[in-house]
Amino acid sequence: MSTTRRALGSLCGVVNVGGEEMLRTRVGPEQSPVQRQTNRMYTRREEAWRPLTRQRVAAFLRLFVLCFVETENGLALHPLTYRLMKKLLVKRFIPWIYNRLVYTMNERYWPITLQQFRAVDQYLADNLPLVQKDDHWGTVAYFFKEVVGEREKWKRLEDMEREAMEAVRRCLGQ
């Protein structure tokens, strides 16, 4: 199909833009979520061999979760692939996350999100307990557990303030 012209949503529009051959083309075989994530990583240049950024780490963690945690939707990969992904996680990504931890409540400065941490931490707890107890991942886990505790404390304080304000309004209203 032409890059400047778009089909109008009817078969005639497809024929006008791409020619009659466009109607004879078939959609390829359906891809698994792992294959789609791998293709997205390749097109966005988020491969693991490139210098790590927050987006590349997030893409790898999503691929890791798809391969190891959400296995019901994917095709089985070669055992070497699984070994390489575990090795990359332990040798490259966990140290990167550890070195970029910023002890702040502002999520913008965190190397990974809380959801990504929870997914990977749960897998490590179930399948790789030695990695989970490692100093680097232990520090990351401690940080995120403290963040969750602080958020709960803030929520309790806000609830107490709200209840106090309601009590004051009730007193003034009577």
Q: What is the pLDDT of residues 96-140, one digit of tens each?
A: 999 999 888 888 999 999 999 998 888 888 888 787 778 899 899
Total domains, the chain: 2
3-state helix, strand, coil in the chain (%, to 5): 70, 0, 30
Domain shared by 54 and 94, yes or no: yes
Give mean pLDDT, residues 132-159: 90
Domain shared by 37 and 26, yes or no: no
Give mean pLDDT, residues 51-67: 88
Domain shared by 26 and 37, yes or no: no
Binning pLDDT at 50, 70 and 90, where does residue 12 land? low
More confident of the two residues 19 and 149: 149
Of all helices (H) and strands (E), which one includes residue 155?
helix 135-173
Domain shared by 117 and 136, yes or no: yes
pLDDT for 132 equals: 72
Domain shared by 64 and 86, yes or no: yes
Out of 124-128, 142-146, 156-160, 161-165, which region has the weakest mean confidence (pLDDT)? 124-128
Please determine, for residue 33, whether its predicted confidence score (pLDDT) is greater than 80: no
Domain shared by 68 and 16, yes or no: no
Long-range CB pairs of 153-159, under 8 A, 24+ apart, other chains included:
none
Domain shared by 118 and 84, yes or no: yes
Q: Quick one: which of 43, 42, 44, 37 has its CA closest to 74?
A: 37
Domain shared by 13 and 41, yes or no: no
Domain shared by 102 and 143, yes or no: yes
Is the separation of the CB atoms in 61 and 116 below 8 Å? yes
Q: Give the structural domain span for 10.
A: 1-30
d(CA 70, CA 79): 17
Is the separation of the CB atoms in 112 and 61 below 8 Å? yes
Please determine, for residue 25, whether its predicted confidence score (pLDDT) is greater than 80: no
Domain shared by 2 and 79, yes or no: no
- How long, in residues, is the chain? 174
Binning pLDDT at 50, 70 and 90, where does residue 81 land? confident
More confident of the two residues 20 and 44: 44
Is the separation of the CB atoms in 67 and 82 below 8 Å? yes
Is the separation of the CB atoms in 92 and 64 below 8 Å? no
Q: Quick one: which of 121, 137, 15, 109 has its CA closest to 68?
A: 121
Domain shared by 8 and 84, yes or no: no
d(CA 8, CA 149): 53
Domain shared by 71 and 4, yes or no: no
pLDDT for 77 equals: 75
